[in-house]
Chain A
């Protein structure tokens, strides 16, 4: 299974990507997502599952069944958009609370062994050089923490430009 996380409206998405492969699980904003409260319930109460019941509580398990994750997000100050960031904040059940030392830095151990390939497509009209550099650092850091060996990143000034870059979803 592949996962697509995006922050586009239904209309934008359907117009840009009228056909999506059957094996793609789409995660989009249906207006119900709650923000991670840092309670660590997904580690110490219901291991591997978020305790907030809003339909976005199985991110860890979904990621564990995925070979490829594609993110389409507005670039906001060099970060993802709030919705996409919200989904990622809710993805820590893929990890364990315990630590390991990797490249002389501490990181969480992984709960699952699957390797995920990450592709991030940022879009925005006025992405500055600094924001672009920050976004590149962010994706690299995310990959390091989620044990993703391969990643691709692109930046588009418009949704039209973005649609040309997103292939095979």
Chain B
């Protein structure tokens, strides 16, 4: 089976989408898989032809302002404009957001389903993941265990449907970690240490900008 994975993360460094693609790869071994990051590299005729000849198209991307980031949106419009000769391609999405609740990806899912309809493709299934920024902290925890329990189960289900080209009910998951703990950890283990690295004290993060009035 030919599988084309589109990494739709605009991040310059390692992204959560990349991590999730790595998780999925464990379950789709033995297939012809190509991965592109459309925000980092241009897109050639050869790559477009590989998409056209795929059985499966998987989009992995982060949620931006309740929907799809502008970079991926431009790419989707471009793909639709070029048109698909093969209308049997099945599309799956792995969407992660920075909130706790995976279901906050639901608008982005609707947009992707509308795109599929416009492009004449079949929509397979969504995996919508909450607390995406926390996933790298648990990278060493095996899938299906501890905080990665839900994500492991969901990725297995998604991969089963991908390999059989089946459609499935959209899956929305949060990590196996209480919300209050995640919320506290996001400040103390993520935002504050990041600010400190940049030489900023905690209270400065809440400053109101006055760059325009300074001009």
Contacts and interface: CB of A to CB of B under 8 A. Distances in A.
Interface of A: 35-40, 43-49, 58, 60-62, 64-65, 76-80, 82-83, 85-86, 88-89, 91-93, 96-99, 101, 105-107, 111-112, 128, 130-131, 133-134, 137-138, 141-142, 145
20 contacts: A36-B70, A38-B9, A43-B205, A44-B198, A44-B200, A49-B209, A61-B210, A76-B77, A77-B115, A79-B67, A79-B111, A82-B77, A85-B70, A105-B101, A128-B114, A130-B114, A134-B114, A137-B107, A137-B110, A138-B111
A112 B65 contact: no
A160 B169 CA distance: 41
A61 B99 CA distance: 23
Contacts of B110: 78, 130, 133-134, 137
Contacts of B107: 78, 134, 137-138, 141
| Candidate in A48, A64, A96 with the most chain B CB atoms within 10 angstroms | A48
Interface residues of B, number: 52
A82 B101 contact: no
A47 B11 contact: no
A99 B212 contact: no
Q: Is the interface of B mostly helix, strand, loop or mixed?
A: helix
B187 A35 contact: no
Contacts, number: 149
Interface in B160-215: 179, 183, 186-187, 191, 194-195, 197-198, 200, 204-212
The 4 closest A-B pairs by CB, nearest first: A48-B209, A86-B70, A141-B66, A77-B114
B64 A36 contact: yes
